Structure 1
Amino acid sequence: MPAPNKPAVNFLTARPIAHRGLHDFSKGVVENTASAFAAAIARNYAIECDLQLTKDGEAVVFHDEHLERLTEGHGMVKDLTTAEMKRLVIRNSTDKVQTLAELLSQVDGRVPLVIELKSHWDGDERLAERAVALLTSYAGPFCLMSFDPDAIAAVRRLAPEIIRGIVAERVDGSYYAFLPLAKQMELRTFSHVARTRPDFVSFYYGQLPWAPITALRASGMPVITWTIRSPEEAVMATRCSDQITFEGFTA
C-alpha cells in the first residue's frame, strides 16, 4: 500500500503505456524523442522512457549505453557531456537528445511518465540523485523504476514519497551472467523487496504467469508488463497484469 503522503498509483494502470513514446521509425518518429512523446500525448497514452547519465552528471533521455544503434555517434553515453549528446544526429529524425528537464517541460503533467533509470550495476547513485532532484518539483504524475534494486533503494532513501518500481524478469538466462551469483539470486527471488519497498512491478509478459508475481499482484501490488507488440500479446498480458507497455501497434 502507498506510504502516508504518497500519491496513489492509479495513474499507472489507467491507460496503456507507450514504450519509449509512441514511435514509428519508418515515419521518422524515433524512440525516446520529443516527436515520440508528442505522439503519445496526442493519444493520451502514458509514456515510458529511459534515462542515462552523461559525463557531466546530467540525466538524458536515451535507452542504450552505446550510441551506435540510434545515432551517428560512437562510444558510450557516460563518456559524453550533455552538450556533446545534444549535438548528436539521431538517425531518421530531426529530433535531438533531450535532458530530463526538457522532457518534463514538454509533457508538463498532461500524461503520466513511467521513467526507467538505466544502470551500469556499479553502485553509482548519481542518476537517481539527479532524477530525484528534478522530479521533486514536478507536478504531473510520474514514477521511477529500474532493473537494479540498488537504484530503487537509492530513490527510496532520497525521496521515499516518490512512487517507485522494479523492472524484472525471471533471471534464468545468460543475460545476467555478468552479475555476481548473489545479485542474480536477489533479482530472481525478489529478496531485495525489504530494502526497495516497490510500489509496483514491471515484468516481462512472456514469462507470466509466475508464482512470485501472482502473489505480489494478489497482495494488491500493481503489475505492468513489457514489451507488448501486438493485440494478441496484449490479450495474453492483461490476463496476468494490470496494464501493458506497448509499441508497434495502437493499443
Structure 2
Amino acid sequence: MFKFFSILTNRIFTGSTVFDFCIIFAVTFIAAYLFLIAPRIPRRKETASFCNRCYAHRGLFDHENGIPENSLPAFAAAVQSGYGIELDVQITKDGKIVVFHDSTLSRMCKTDARVRSKTYQELSELELLETGNRIPLLTEVLELVDGKVPLLIEIKLKVASTRTCILLNEALMNYKGPYCIESFNILAVRWYKRNRPDIIRGQLSANLTSSPSKGKFFQYFLVKHLLTNFITRPDFISYRYQDAGNLSFLLNKYLFRAATMAWTVNSEEACARCIGRFDSLIFEGFRA
C-alpha cells in the first residue's frame, strides 16, 4: 500500500503531470467564467432596435428652470426632442407603480419617508421640488409617451419580493410602444427572464464595490463583474461609463457582442468619449 501510494504521488507531481493539471484547471476556470458572464445571444436583432439612441435620464429635466426629473413635463420635453426616455419605477404601499428614482422622498419632496411606505393618494399630495408637479403614475407616463419614443425602464427593487415586476408587467400589458427593462437587482432581471422572455432586459452595473453598503460586498462584487449573468442572461449591459474598463464588461462587448449602454453621461466631453465605445447613451445636463 505504501509503495503504491509513493508511486502514485511521484507520478502526480512529475513536471508533465503538474503542467497538464495546470492547463486543465486554467481551461476549466476560463470556461466557467465565460459561462457565468455570458449574455443572452439569440435576441440580438430585437435588442438592436433599442441601440444607437440617446436616452434622456429621468426625462429631459431641468431643475433650474422648474422641470423636475421623472415628471410629466420632463417626459414631454424628451418626446418633443425625439429622445428615448430612461425612467425609474417602484411600488407604493397600496400597490401602484409610480415613476420615482430615490427610495426616500427627502431629496425631491422634502419629506422624511420612504416611497413604499406611502399610498399613492399620500404621494399625490406632495410636490416635486416645490414646482407644482407631482409624482406620476406609470400609466400617466405611458399615456403621454404613447409609443412615440422607446422607454428604458429601470426597476427599483429594494426588497426580495418581486411584486413590483408583477404589477409593472400588468401595467405594460396593453402598451403598444417599444420598451425594455433594466435593473441593478438580479431578482428583477431574473423575473423577466422566467416570466417575460419576450421582453428585452438589461443588467445595470458599475464599480459597486468602491463604496459597498454594509453586508453587501459579495453581492456587489458579483454584479460588478457580471458574474450573475448566468442567472439573468441579459440582452444588454448598462454600465457606468467611467468604470467601463471592467474585464467582464469588455468581454460582453467584444467577445459576446452584447449591446451596451453608458450611464450617466453628463457633459458633451463625456459624450464624445463614449461615442463608439457604447451602443447607446443615457444622458443628462445637456443635449446629446
- Whether these two folds match at TM > 0.5 is yes
Any unmatched runs of 5+ in structure 1? none
Q: What corresponds to 2:163 in structure 1? A: 126
Q: Which digits, 9 at most, give the CA deviation of each residue in 1:56-79, with x for residues without a partner?
A: 111100000110111143300010
Q: Is 1:73 aligned to residue 111 of structure 2?
A: yes
Tell me how large the CA RMSD over aligned residues is. Answer: 1.7
Q: What corresponds to 1:212 in structure 2? A: 248
Answer whether contact 1:229 1:248 (CA < 8 A) is retained: yes
Q: What corresponds to 1:103 in structure 2? A: 141
Distance 2:45 2:62 in 1: 33
Given the alignment, which residue of 119, 132, 136 partners 1:94? 132
Answer whether contact 1:22 1:39 (CA < 8 A) is retained: yes
Q: Is 1:222 aligned to residue 259 of structure 2?
A: yes
Q: What corresponds to 1:197 in structure 2? A: 233
Normalized against structure 2, the TM-score is what? 0.81
Distance 2:111 2:208 in 1: 31
For the residue of structure 1 that corresponds to 2:107, the secondary structure is coil
Distance 1:216 1:39 in 2: 33
Distance 2:280 2:262 in 1: 7
Deviates more, 1:184-193 or 1:56-65: 184-193
- 1:83, CA displacement in angstroms? 1.1
Amino acid of the structure 1 residue aligned with 2:115: V
Q: What corresponds to 1:150 in structure 2? A: 187
Answer whether contact 2:262 2:278 (CA < 8 A) is retained: yes
For the residue of structure 1 that corresponds to 2:136, the secondary structure is coil
Distance 1:232 1:210 in 2: 21
Q: Is 1:237 aligned to residue 274 of structure 2?
A: yes
Q: Is 1:35 aligned to residue 73 of structure 2?
A: yes
Number of residue pairs aligned between Structure 1 and Structure 2: 248
Distance 2:132 2:48 in 1: 35
Q: Which digits, 9 at most, give the CA deviation of each residue in 1:29-60, with x for residues without a partner?
A: 00000000000001000000001110011110
Answer whether contact 2:262 2:282 (CA < 8 A) is retained: yes
For the residue of structure 2 that corresponds to 1:203, the secondary structure is strand
- 1:180, CA displacement in angstroms? 5.6
For the residue of structure 1 that corresponds to 2:116, the secondary structure is helix
Amino acid of the structure 2 residue aligned with 1:203: Y
Q: What corresponds to 2:58 in structure 1? A: 20
- 1:3, CA displacement in angstroms? 4.8
Distance 2:265 2:113 in 1: 30
Answer whether contact 1:209 1:240 (CA < 8 A) is retained: no
Deviates more, 1:161-170 or 1:92-101: 92-101
Answer whether contact 1:146 1:167 (CA < 8 A) is retained: yes
Distance 2:47 2:176 in 1: 15
Amino acid of the structure 2 residue aligned with 1:202: S
Q: Over alpha carbons, which structure has the higher Rg?
A: 2
Give the 3 Å change call, closer, same or farther, for CA 201–176 of structure 1 in structure 2. farther
Q: What corresponds to 1:173 in structure 2? A: 210
For the residue of structure 2 that corresponds to 1:70, the secondary structure is helix
For the residue of structure 2 that corresponds to 1:8, the secondary structure is helix
Normalized against structure 1, the TM-score is what? 0.93
Amino acid of the structure 2 residue aligned with 1:52: Q
Distance 2:171 2:41 in 1: 22
For the residue of structure 2 that corresponds to 1:249, the secondary structure is coil
Amino acid of the structure 1 residue aligned with 2:60: L
Any unmatched runs of 5+ in structure 2? 1-39
Q: What corresponds to 2:96 in structure 1? A: 58
Q: Which has the higher helix share?
A: 2
